[in-house]
Amino acid sequence: MTACLGSAEDRLTWLTGATMGTGYSVKIVDLPAGIDPESLDHHIAQLLEEVNGLMSTYQEASELSRFNRSRRTDWIAVSPELVKVLEEAQRISRLSEGAFDVTVGPLVNLWGFGPSPYVDDLPPRQQVEAARERVDFKQLQIRRLPPAIRKAQGDIYVDLSGIAKGYGVDRIAELLEAQGIENYLVDIGGEERIQGYGPQGGPWRIAIERPVAGKRSVQRILELDSSAVATSGDYRNYFEREGKRYSHTLDPRTGWPITHKLVSVTVLSATAMRADALATALMVLGPEQGFRLAEREQIAALFLVKTPGGFREQTTTRFTKIRSWALSAGKGYPPADK
């Protein structure tokens, strides 16, 4: 869908559509002359279909699904795009010591969070343990040239839900820049990439959501002109059994949903793919381990931690260098572009 919005209709072009089980949004300020918005939207949708065709676990014919079904342990030729994403995933896995692990697929499926039918009950502990034994990023090997991947054990199952949306955002950004587009905000399911100026002529204003279930409100506004942003949280994706709340965020190291007090973490990085994976890793690690890792690696991150009275913000040193406003700042609070 194509629309012109804002106080200066000639400046803002807004393209939207569905992808990856969610939606995409592309806002462009001062679209260069000669570029047809509908044609550009078609190319974006086509690009995202290609990404899904490589990395979706919901499409049986995707490159990743074919790899997951195979029990071969020799090298299997794949696309350079899949290798690129898996290489980044493995870097974050090593950095987080397995808190982020794309071989988490058996656990995702067991808990009913993947393409398998929804499970309306807690899986037995022995099944969780059996699935966890199939999770180990070190059992997945990657070769760049010629591009190929292999399993050290045949039942490895890769799930890229913690990084693929970010990669899709980056691919759209590359497409825009190749067209000479310099001012944009790309979003897929909350993973974003920002470049240039926003519709008011200044930095883009990005809203960080307050983690309150069943209600949408803003915790903080960021002003950005060149960055990628990703947020991971469990305040919307959870279920309850016998009075206990279970997050959809699984810890690959234990096989069980996370239980700590971190409710969301927002990460800024150079690419949306990296921000996406880092946000997932820090969410699994929690407010103490995750914060220590983020500080050590100089990651710009905002942690929202649950307290008896509400939420507490915890920001890394790198994050404090970013211009932002908390909702409690009072009058003069700037509106968000997203």
Q: List binding-site positions.
A: 162, 276, 280
For residue 326, count other CB atoms closer than 10 A to its CB.
13
User: Do 242 and 62 touch, CB atoms closer than 8 A?
Assistant: no
Residue 238 three-state SS: strand
Euclidean distance between CA atoms 297 and 300, whole angstroms? 9
If you search the block for the tokens 């992808």, which residue do you land on? Answer: 19
Q: What is the dihedral of CA 82, 88, 93, 96, to 10 degrees?
A: -160
CA-to-CA dists, residue 97 to 57, 101, 152, angstroms: 24, 9, 19
- What residue numbers does the annotated binding site for Mg(2+) cover? 162, 276, 280
Residue 118 buriedness (CB in 10 A; 0-12 / 13-18 / 19+): exposed
- Report the alpha-carbon distance of residue 142 to residue 328 in Å, rounded: 47
Closest CA to 286 of 318, 256, 260: 260
